[in-house]
Amino acid sequence: MNALSKRLFLNTLIAVTVALPSLAQEAHVGDLTGHAASGKKLYRRFCVGCHGPLGDGNGENAPWIDPKPRDFTAATFKCRSTPTGTLPTDQDLYNSVGRGFYNSNMPHWDALTDQMRIDLVAYIKTFSPRWKSEKAGDPINIPAEPAVTMQSITHGAELFQKMECWKCHGQQGRGDGPSAATLTDSKDQPIRPYNFAAGGDDSRFKCGVTNQDVYRIFMTGVDGTPMPSFADVIQPNDAWDLVHFLRTLQTNRHSKENDVLKAAGGKIPVKAADAPSGSGGQ
């Protein structure tokens, strides 16, 4: 009698603990609902080779891959609409799976259906307990983009100096600043700052291609890498000016920013005070 009830209790306990996580592990984007159970099968077919059966980025291909596959157990994600240190939204992860990661071995998985991708997102979220104890961060607010003007570009160039973006990205944005060679990611792997000048009209950033994406990247930071968040130190309108300037660093890419710059003679006026000072005379 006693043993039976004990076993019953244990069975229920096991059933509940097994069922609960899978119940909790859903992902939502628009009308889509992703399920971890379906995602697991897809993961084992498409993702396991690099990200590994445990989701820790130690798949059998991982030793030959640089940058390393994402470790989902750390729940640190590069491309987020949410503040640094917070979990990304389901939409962020869904976008990342569909977009892939430029300059890495992560392809864009747009050959999968929308349902398959959202199922994968649901499964990816089972690898870290953070998804049970924390909510995704609130996406940062991005105001409407102002017109591209020479004034905006010039102010952006001043910010590029003031925020010392050039320390890593270099004065021409070629990823060759004084600190570039020493950079490592949070797993101590060497990592390169983005080279804005590489590529032409097809140039992409890790987290997207639009001006809004550029805005989001430096405001939220790229977690797990040396790229910090500037949300606390750049005002929203200033941020748009910086976006407009960064576009002019993509010298081989056709853009309204480059058109405006070209029409103004191709040179950004530099204020003497903003030039990087060697000995820092105050």
Partner 1 sequence: MRTKQLFMVASALMVSPALLFGAGTISGKVTYTGTPAKQKTIDMSKEPTCAKQHTTPITTETVVTGANNALENVVVYISAGAPDESSAPTQAVTFTQKGCQYLPHVLAMKTGQELKVVNDDQTSHNIHPLAKVNREWNKSQPPGTPPLSEKFDKEEFISVKCNVHPWMHGYFAVLKTSHYSVSGDNGAFSLPNLPAGKYTITAWQEDYGTQTQDVTITGNETKTVDFTFKAKPY
278 part of the interface to partner 1, by CB under 8 A: yes
Indicate the burial class of 99 (C-beta count within 10 angstroms; 0-12, 13-18, 19 or more).
Answer: buried
How distant, in Å, are the alpha carbons of 55, 156, 172, 252 from that of 245?
Answer: 38, 5, 11, 14
Contact between 235 and partner 1 by CB under 8 A: the answer reads no
Residue selected from 230, 238, 247, 260 as contacting partner 1 according to rule CB under 8 A: 230
Sign of dihedral through CA atoms 162, 178, 175, 218?
A: negative
Q: Which one, 73 or 251, has the nearer CB to partner 1?
A: 73
Burial class (CB in 10 A: 0-12, 13-18, 19+), 182: exposed
Stretch of 18-26, 145-153, 159-167, 194-202 contacting partner 1, by CB under 8 A: 159-167
Query: Min. distance of Cβ 29 from partner 1 in angstroms?
Result: 23
Residue 29's CB is within 10 A of a number of other CB atoms, namely: 18
Is the peptide bond between 67 and the residue preceding it cis, with omega within 30 degrees of 0? yes
Closest to partner 1 by CB, 5 vs 182, is 182
Q: Is 195 in the site for partner 1 (CB under 8 A)?
A: no
Distance from C-alpha of 270 to C-alpha of 277, rounded to nearest angstrom: 13
Tell me the per-residue interface mask from 52 to 91 with partner 1, x by CB under 8 A, - otherwise. Answer: ----------------------x-x------xxxx-----
Distance CA 159, CA 242 (A): 7
Instruction: Decide whether 237 or 277 has the Cβ nearer to partner 1.
Output: 277
- Out of 90, 223, 238, 241, name the contact with partner 1 by CB under 8 A: 223
Residues that bind partner 1 (CB under 8 A): 74, 76, 83-86, 162-164, 167-168, 178-179, 182-184, 186, 221, 223-233, 278-280, 282
